[in-house]
Amino acid sequence: MASAGKFRERAVFERLNAEAIDAYGQPHSAWEALFTRWADFRETTGKERINSGAVESGATGTLRIRYSSAAAGLTGADRVTIRGAVWNIRSVVQVNRQKNLIELLCERGVAT
């Protein structure tokens, strides 16, 4: 199991609610917080990709959190805010057989 000292970053996990209602009673889509956890986040170096002749920059990172029933329900449709930036979740995997850690591949700076 990872030591508690590695989990130093606060991560807020969010899910899109397509049935939210604004202050005027109108339906709209809004991101809503699911839960907050201490996390171990490792950002990889930025990269530039050529997409249809245009250069775009993006970043990826891996985020580890302790297993919980809420964390087990995360999907690639959710997102996480960490270090003041919003990251799209690309994959969710359990790290070990004990099922006590979940690892998320995250990406920011590119269109979803």
Amino acid sitting at position 45: T
Domains held by the chain: number: 1
Strand partners, 35: 13
Kindly indicate the confidence band of residue 22, based on its pLDDT and cuts at 50, 70 and 90. confident
| Model confidence pLDDT, tens digit, residues 23-48 | 788 877 889 999 999 999 998 865 55
Q: Report the C-alpha gap between 76 and 4 in whole angstroms.
A: 26
pTM strictly above 0.75: yes
pLDDT at 10: 96
| Model confidence pLDDT, tens digit, residues 73-111 | 999 999 999 999 999 999 999 887 777 899 999 998 766
CA torsion through residues 79, 82, 86, 90, sign: negative
CATH of the domain at 77: 2.40.10.270
The average pLDDT across 57-78 equals: 91
36: containing domain = 4-108
For the cut 70, the answer to whether the pLDDT of residue 1 exceeds it is no
Q: Report the C-alpha gap between 2 and 87 in whole angstroms.
A: 23
Q: Report the C-alpha gap between 53 and 9 in whole angstroms.
A: 36
pLDDT at 63: 95
